[in-house]
């Protein structure tokens, strides 16, 4: 049997679809020739300083164990925020470990992404899980089409051909750890404030800092520009030069004006800048105002579609998230039914209402109309953000649901006000 370890579930599914006729098990797929399983990206992370047997602490950082330069780097299974091994990570690792060590498995295929990180992710799992020597090969797929995958499976390379790629990946991982862990602790202990130091974060923070300083220290200055109002074909056209002159260079500006005034110019083309809105512009302007739910569901749907391209198994969860902004439309429909029943259009027949009663009914419907419009749109944006949580941490689905649900609270309050108001009107 050939065991294929994919870097992520979406890649595993594409491999399975390319192979065809595979049975879905708990954490892996099988047929009579292949077993396909997957990781969730990095199952292993570099151990912390305390894991190297340095000066023990009570969880507080100390200068006593930095700088730390391990003779041999250690890796641990990825931990959650509670400092315990992530249950999902542990479950999948145990699955992979049992598959790797099956007696009928004689070949292990590294199906990490075609880059240094993908090489490292799968190698770490195999190196930690494998209990005996087995053939190790590499599936290199620059894209995930069935044709490319099947071509790669028919031309598997020995793992040693990618040793340099793995070494590059491990070297970057080690350097990032040495740089980030040591300097983060040092800077934090020296300042008393958590200061994260890293290969990527430092230039980003520096760029943000420089921009903030530029804004803070900005001093407006006076300069001269050159413009002229010219009459062309009975139309006055304002001509503006791109040249600007410091306030101290008034003589230079005047000389430049004299030069321009001595020349002849011809207007060959013009562009009209619209200062008013035509009919189509108003339609686009009011687009967000026609239906808050429609906009909200659309926003969430775009985010959900992005997740589905990577992991179709999350369809049910992201669909629920997308449907949440649609409730405001249902609330509006309910108010509409109550109102139409109130004035007899639905039921016994229409009744005549006075102008005063009509205005009362309009005012009673407005809370649901206005709040439903706004909350529907912004619940869609919040749902899109929560869909991002589900994409990375599907086990946090219940918590992610709370964020868009909080937005809907105000729509429910508006619904209650509108129902009470409409039903209280005498017609």
DSSP track, 230-251: EEETTEEEEEEEEEEEEGGGHH
Per-residue confidence at 349, pLDDT binned at 50, 70, 90?
Answer: low
The CA-based dihedral angle spanning residues 190, 194, 198, 203, taken in that order and rounded to the nearest 10 degrees: -90
As to burial, measured by CB atoms within 10 angstroms (0-12 exposed, 13-18 middle, 19+ buried), residue 130 is middle
Stronger pLDDT, 346 or 73, i.e. the higher one: 73
Which residues 6+ apart lie within 8 Å of 313 measured at CB? Answer: 9, 13
* pLDDT tens string 79-123: 877 778 888 888 889 999 999 999 899 999 999 888 888 899 999
| pLDDT at residue 282 in the model | 43
Check if 2-174 and 287-424 are the same fold: no
* pLDDT tens string 279-303: 554 444 444 445 667 787 888 887 7
Mean pLDDT score of the chain: 83
Which residue reads 């708990």 in tokens? 26
| pLDDT at residue 289 in the model | 46
On whether the CB atoms of residues 249 and 224 are closer than 8 A, the answer is yes
| pLDDT at residue 287 in the model | 47
Stronger pLDDT, 268 or 176, i.e. the higher one: 176
Q: How much is the average pLDDT of 237-248?
A: 82
Topology annotation, domain 287-424: 1.20.120
| pLDDT at residue 351 in the model | 74
| pLDDT at residue 283 in the model | 45
81: its two tokens: 């925020």
* pLDDT tens string 33-57: 999 999 988 888 888 887 776 555 5
- Domain coordinates in residue numbering, the chain: 2-174, 223-261, 287-424
Stronger pLDDT, 153 or 203, i.e. the higher one: 153
Residue 259 pLDDT greater than 60, yes or no:
yes
| pLDDT at residue 3 in the model | 94
Topology annotation, domain 2-174: Rossmann fold (3.40.50)
| pLDDT at residue 288 in the model | 45
Q: How much is the average pLDDT of 136-158?
A: 90
């Amino acid at each position: 049997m050939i065991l294929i370890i994919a870097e992520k579930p979406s890649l595993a599914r594409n491999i399975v679809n390319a192979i065809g006729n595979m049975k879905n098990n708990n954490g892996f797929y099988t047929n009579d020739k292949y077993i396909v399983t997957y990781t969730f990206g990095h199952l292993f992370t570099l151990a912390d300083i305390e894991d190297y047997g340095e000066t023990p602490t009570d969880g507080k950082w100390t200068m006593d164990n930095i700088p730390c330069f391990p003779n041999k780097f250690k890796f641990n299974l990825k931990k959650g925020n509670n400092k315990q091994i992530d249950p999902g990570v542990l479950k999948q690792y145990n699955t992979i470990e049992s598959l790797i060590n099956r007696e009928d498995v004689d070949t292990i295929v590294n199906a990490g992404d075609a880059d240094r990180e993908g090489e490292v992710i799968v190698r770490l799992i195999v190196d930690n899980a494998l209990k005996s020597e087995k053939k190790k090969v590499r599936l290199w797929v620059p894209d995930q089409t069935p044709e490319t995958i099947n071509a790669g499976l028919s031309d598997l390379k020995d793992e040693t051909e990618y040793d340099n790629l793995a070494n590059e990946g491990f070297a970057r991982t080690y350097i990032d750890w040495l740089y980030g862990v040591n300097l983060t602790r040092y800077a934090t202990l020296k300042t008393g404030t958590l200061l994260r130091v890293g290969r990527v974060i430092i230039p980003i923070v520096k760029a943000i800092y420089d921009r903030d300083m530029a804004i803070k220290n900005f001093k407006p200055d006076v300069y001269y520009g050159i413009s002229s109002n010219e009459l062309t074909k009975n139309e006055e056209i304002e001509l503006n030069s791109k040249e600007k002159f410091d306030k101290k260079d008034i003589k230079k500006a005047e000389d430049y004006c004299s030069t321009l005034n001595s020349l002849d110019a011809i207007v060959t083309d013009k562009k009209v800048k619209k200062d008013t809105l035509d009919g189509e512009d108003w339609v686009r302007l009011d687009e967000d105002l026609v239906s808050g739910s429609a906009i909200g569901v659309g926003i969430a749907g775009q985010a959900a579609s992005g997740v589905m391209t990577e992991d179709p198994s999350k369809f049910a969860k992201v669909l629920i998230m997308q449907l949440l902004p649609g409730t405001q439309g249902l609330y509006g429909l309910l108010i509409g039914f109550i109102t139409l029943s109130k004035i007899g259009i639905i039921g016994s027949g229409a009744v005549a209402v006075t102008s005063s009663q009509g205005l009362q009914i309009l005012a009673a419907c407005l809370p649901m109309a206005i709040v439903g419009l706004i909350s529907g749109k912004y619940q869609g944006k919040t749902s899109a953000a929560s869909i991002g949580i589900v994409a990375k941490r599907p086990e946090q689905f219940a918590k992610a649901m709370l964020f868009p649900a909080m937005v809907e609270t105000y729509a429910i309050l508006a619904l209650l006000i509108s129902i009470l108001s409409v039903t209280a009107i005498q017609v």
